[in-house]
Structure 1
Amino acid sequence: MKTFERYFVATNRWMLIIMLAVMSVIIFANVVLRYSTNVSIEWAEEVARHLMIWLTFIGCGPVLRYGGHIAVENLQDSLPRPMAIALRAFIAVLLAALFVFLTWYGIDYMDRTQYQQTPATQISFAYIYAALPIGAAMTLIHWLLIVRDYVLERKFAADAHFDATASASL
């Protein structure tokens, strides 16, 4: 399972790195062209926007995995340990249900928009909206990989690249 987790996290990271790099290059090239030649790349803004959508949903899992989302933890801090564990278990079930819901209805939304096309690139909106179910499914996998430690110890994953508790103390 650790091997799967390592490859899954690495794949997710590389997807984010590549999407961010492509988006940055497109935006930079468009700005340079606009100011040096007064000509813009027609599809640059649209593609950058779609990449940002994909970055948001694909990046949700790693942020959740490392405890980077905003959370109000005062209640569980004030509860006795058994009650805090029960509260975190309830939160864990709610989050898992949310990710399943987003995956299911994201697929439905993709189906509804498959015949609509984007204005500049003329691709199906289903490819853009695929970010929701794919991102939610990936977030669910990240969640399932860390949920035991979260429920029992309120502990998130940490590694050399990112540690939310270390960055919170800076």
Structure 2
Amino acid sequence: MPTLLRRGLEYMCAGLLMVIVAVIFTNVVGRYFFHAPLRWSDEVAQFLFLWLAYLGALAALMGGRHYSFPNLIDLLPVKARLAVKTLSDLVVLAMLGILVWTGIQLVDLLHHQRSPALDVPIYYIYAALPLVSALMALVVVYQIVARLLGGPEPGQEEVADPRLEDPL
């Protein structure tokens, strides 16, 4: 996965988190110091957090940061390691397909509902499930193809610009 794309997604997640913190902080100040809470702030924070969680999961998948057992898999011979990783990715792909399908059904079920405080269609919020699941499925397909063609594992790509390297 291109490092720049993953890094951009990570910055977007950081931006969402900053907006959530700012909205909640503003509401706390308004409620306790001015006795004028923002009635919509909790709803905005919840909706942004839902999107943040899904986009963060996508960024983690792109960077190879999801849970796995690399020490156990690395003990296998090269061909068995390739087969096990590919089989694991196919299981993940099947799960993501189920999430896309059920997410589309959920969005369709909620297409008449509006949020109480903001009065926006609720399906905008819950569209995160099928949309990000579909993007994750594309990432997994990309990773399978890259692995079968001998490319690097997720998170192990060559970084052209040293400023983009992870400091950890």
**Same fold by TM-score, threshold 0.5 exceeded?**
yes
Contact 2:103 2:127 in 1 (8 A): yes
List aligned pairs for 1:98-137, cutoff 5 A.
98-137=95-134
How far did 1:72 drift?
2.7
1:94 is aligned to 2:94:
no
Is 1:60 equivalent to 2:57 in the alignment? yes
Deviation digits for residues 132-163 of structure 1, max 9, x if unmatched? 01111222233233334556677222555565
Residues 1:43 and 2:50 are matched in the alignment: no
- Tell me the distance in 2 between the aligned counterparts of 1:70 and 1:111: 32
Most deviating of 34-43 and 14-23: 14-23
Q: Give percent identity, aligned residues only.
A: 28
Matched with 2:66 is 69
Q: Give 3-state SS (helix, strand or coil) of 1:19's partner.
A: helix
Cα distance in 1 between the residues matched to 2:125 and 2:91:
26
Gaps of 5+ in 1: none
Q: Distance in 2 between matches of 1:126 and 1:162?
A: 37
Instruction: Determine the C-alpha separation between the residues in 1 that align with 2:66 and 2:43.
Output: 27
Structure-2 change in CA distance of 1:54 and 1:73 (3 Å): same
Task: Let me know the Cα RMSD of the aligned residues.
Answer: 2.7
Give the TM-score of the pair, scaled to structure 1: 0.79
d(CA) in 2 for partners of 1:109 and 1:137? 15
Aligned residues: 162
Whole-angstrom CA distance in 2 between matches of 1:115 and 1:162: 45
Q: 1:62 is aligned with what amino acid?
A: A
The aligned counterpart of 1:28 is: 25
How far did residue 54 of structure 1 move? 0.5
Give TM-score, length-normalised by structure 2. Answer: 0.79
